[in-house]
Every structure is written in structure tokens, then in C-alpha cells.
Structure 1
Amino acid sequence: MKPNIYSIILYVGTAVAALALAYASFKSATVAWSVGICVAIGVVVYAFSMLPEPKKVARSDEAPKTQRSPAAQAAVVVAVIFGLMLVVPTVVLWLGRYSPELGALVGGVALMALFLILWLRSRYQRSHERDEG
């Protein structure tokens, strides 16, 4: 990949953020746990990027088509995710009273779950767009 201004900004920003987190981790155990959780989540996300493309499912012409539109399905997914995300801060603060590390873990997992759901949905949509197109 040929470096451009955006990739340079991304690399420099990542390096600065990593240095700031390393310094903060040295000063506070809670930040160290949070950084460790974020690194673990990053490793999992990187592993997901190596998954093979989903297999195409052969569809027969006799199969009935669903009457729901993709926009309605997306609206339902977004509404459910939004509703669940309204509960997350309360749960994280409640858990944080007992253990800040557990609160950070639950918050990080909840945020990554949001992106994981959206990423899996996009993979599903792409695999089915190829079948129709």
C-alpha cells in the first residue's frame, strides 16, 4: 500500500495513543487493565478479519421470498442495538462500584459487540447481494 497523508496520520496517531496508554498504564492499574482488554479485543478483531468469506447458499426458485424489505430489517437491527446500548452505561457503572476492571471489561465487550453485529450483518448482506446480482 502506497502511503498517503491519511495513512501517515493514522500511523502517527496510533503511535501517540499507544505511548499515552503505555504511560497511563504505568501510573494506574485500572488503565492497565483497560488497555489489556482493548488489546485482547483488537487481537480478536484481527483474527475475525482472517476468516474466510461465507459460502454461497444455493437457492431454489420454489423458495418463497420474504416480504420484509432490507430497510425494515436494518431498522429493526438498529433499534434493538440502540435499545440495548441505552442499558450499558447503567450496567457498567453498577459493576464499576464493585470492580472497575469488570466494568471496563463489560463496557469494552458491549462496544465491540455492537461493531461485531454490524460487521457480521454487512458480510451476510454482501454474500446475498452476489447471489441476486
Structure 2
Amino acid sequence: MSEQTNRSTLIAAAIIFGGLLIGGYFLPDIINYVALFSPWLATGIGILFVLAVFFIFWLRGRYQRRHGR
């Protein structure tokens, strides 16, 4: 792997990790606020956050397969 590929992978991992960290930090507050109106909607938001994590990594893997990395 070239230096540019390593740097690109590191930047992508940092962005993904940062996004998950920020999202995970605010998720309990968001869920508690939404649960005041609808516990089902709050549960759905939590489930969507977890599914989004897998979706991000699925997209990343698909991108890497298409570009031969």
C-alpha cells in the first residue's frame, strides 16, 4: 500500500470514529427528549443509530472493493 492510501485510510477512520463518538455522546440526551413524546420513536432512533454504524462500514467496504484497495 502506498503512503497516500495509508493516509486516506487513516483520515477516513478518524472521521468515522469522530462521528460515532459525537453521535454516541449526544444519543442518550436525544433519546430521553424524544421519549417524552413517544417511547417507540426513541427506540427507533436508537436502533437507527446502531444500524447506521454497520451501514457506514458496509459502504466503506464496498467502496474499497470497487477501487481495488
Equivalent residue pairs, number: 65
Partner amino acid, structure 1, of 2:54: F
Describe the superposition over 1:86-131 as per-residue Cα deviations: whole angstroms up to 9, x where unpaired: 111110111112211111111111111111111111111122126x
Higher relative contact order (CA 8 A, sep 6+): 1
Identity %: 34
| TM-score calculated relative to the size of structure 2 | 0.75
Unaligned runs of 5+ in 1: 1-64
Partner of 1:112: 51
Q: CA RMSD in A?
A: 2.0
Report the structure, 1 or 2, having the larger helix content.
Answer: 2
Segments of structure 2 that go 5 or more residues without pairing to the other structure are: none
TM-score by length of 1: 0.43
